[in-house]
Amino acid sequence: MKNLSFIFFVLISQFSHSQTLDNQINEIEDKLISWRHDFHKYPEVSNREFRTSEVIAKHLESLGITVTRNVGVNGVVGILEGKNKGKVVALRSDMDALPITENNNLNYQSVNDGVMHACGHDSHMSILMATAEILSKNNDFNGTVKFIFQGAEEGPPPGEEGGARMMIKEGVLENPEVDAIFGLHISSLLPMNKVFYKPKGFFASSSRFTVKVIGSQSHGGTPWLGVDPIVISSQIINSFQTIISRESNLTNEPAVISFGIIEGGNRFNIIPNEVNLVGTIRSLDYEMRDYIKQRMIELAEGIAKSYGGTAIVDIVDGADITYNDPELMEQMLPSLKSSAGNNNVILNSAKTIAEDYAYYLNEIPGFMFELGGYNINEERKAPPHHTPDFFIDDSSMLLGVKVMTNLALDFLDSE
């Protein structure tokens, strides 16, 4: 009878603790939204997140969290210790905005010309700041939580270092050594109040390519006196798409080649000497990625030569494949479901977007999940990421705080 009474007492205590946590999370929503609006109004691009990082650092310090500034240029790292020694879990958010001019009529629209939070990093920071506040009020856990606010996720400016790789190089996963890491990415295209996950390959690798096509300049009225790099470029662009549509087994994994920049010429009646093509390769399989790169070089050089020109191809690998640890994801799936509800945790397909969060996962176990940010009751069409119309519903963020808080506590409490 005494044992049953003890078990009942433990269950009641856990329920009470859970209720207190839920109440605290619900009460922080106004702050959460206020932080997000502030970050959205004052966005900063990669490696220039000066104001952003200062806001974050001051908030963490106000909670009694030990803070280190300027990790990986502008990164902020906070360490919150529990009541006893134990495992170390890291929670990560990115901070940088994009060079995009906003097209939303929001009362917190970006005031920084040509810069916008068009990928949701403003919500990621706000969610992690709120998570830090909740955990600092409930630090009776065993172990340590490390909060990683990382800059330059979208890639550092040319000639500079930054992002996850630089933070790892500077020891962000050490002192104390991290046992597991969790991260989220909000989605403007997925319905809010739901969590989307996938073990193994989650987001694609990213490679940046440039193709310099060199011809011979001539008058537009006498094209036979030169070699037209615009015509050559058009053939190269079309041929690259056949690598995907005719040479890649897309039933295994998806792959994408996209052109983002075509530059060449300066007058309507002059055939230029040179055209530059810039774009990205995305793949969920490294062998496919390497084959695509090889074929791009072969086709570009061969096509240019056949027209009497030259093509110089340069390919630089960016983010690796975001590989979610399947064992850890299986272990933590009950935590996701207890936070969001069984029917709101959904196994999803891999995506061909990329995240430099992948580099943390190359070092330690962890995973990233997606948080729905689209209110299906909105009349407006869900806008894609990296566009001037990007928008997420403020009410979608609270579930992110609950999930991140519970992931940290449940992991530290696990055997």
CA 409 to chain centre: 23
> Measuring CA to CA, which residue among 66, 331, 283 is closest to residue 182?
331
pLDDT-above-90 percentage for the chain: 93
- Let me know: does 151 contact 74? Beta carbons within 8 Å: yes
Q: Which residue has the tokens 């097209």?
A: 103
Average pLDDT over residues 173-194: 98
Which residues have a Cβ under 8 Å from the Cβ of 4 and sit 6 or more positions away? none
The pLDDT assigned to 18 comes to 78
Residue tagged active-site, from 44, 96, 154, 394: 96
> Does residue 11 surpass a pLDDT of 80?
no
Contact 202, 263 (CB under 8 A): no
Compute the average pLDDT of residues 398-407. Answer: 98
In three-state secondary structure terms, 94 is: strand
On average, the pLDDT of the chain sits at 95
**Residues 183-187, mean pLDDT to the nearest whole number:** 98
What's the rounded mean pLDDT across residues 279-295?
97
Q: Which tens digit of pLDDT belongs to each residue from 58-106? A: 999 999 999 999 999 999 999 999 999 999 999 999 999 999 999 999 9
Instruction: Count Cα neighbours of 290 within 13 Å in the Cβ-side half-sphere.
Output: 3
- pLDDT of 16 reads 42
Q: What is the pLDDT of residue 294?
A: 98
pLDDT reading at 337 higher than 70: yes
User: 415 pLDDT exceeds 80?
Assistant: no
Q: Establish whether 290 is a catalytic residue.
A: no
Q: Is 96 a catalytic residue?
A: yes
Joined tokens for residue 95? 């901070």
> How far apart are the C-alpha atoms of 303 and 256, rounded to whole Å?
21
Task: State the pLDDT at residue 379.
Answer: 80
Whose tokens are 């992948």? That residue is: 358
pLDDT at 19: 84
User: Against a cut of 0.75, is the pTM above it?
Assistant: yes
Q: What is the pLDDT, as a whole number, of residue 13?
A: 38
Helix (H) or strand (E) holding 304, with range, is helix 286-306
The model's confidence at residue 17, banded by pLDDT at 50, 70 and 90, is: low
Q: Do 133 and 65 contact (CB within 8 A), yes or no?
A: no
**Catalytic residue among 153, 179, 253, 320, which?**
153
Domains of the chain: 22-203+321-413 (3.40.630.10), 205-317 (3.30.70.360)
What average pLDDT does this structure show over 334-360? 97
Whether 292 has a pLDDT exceeding 70, the answer reads yes
> Is there a contact between 196 and 348 (Cβ–Cβ < 8 Å)?
yes
Instruction: Provide, rounded to the nearest whole percent, the portion of the chain with pLDDT above 70.
Output: 96
Using alpha carbons, select from 305, 390, 320 the residue that is nearest to residue 43.
390
| Torsion sign across C-alpha atoms 130, 98, 383, 111 | positive
Render pLDDT for 353-379 as a digit per residue (tens, 0 to 9): 999 999 999 999 999 999 999 999 988
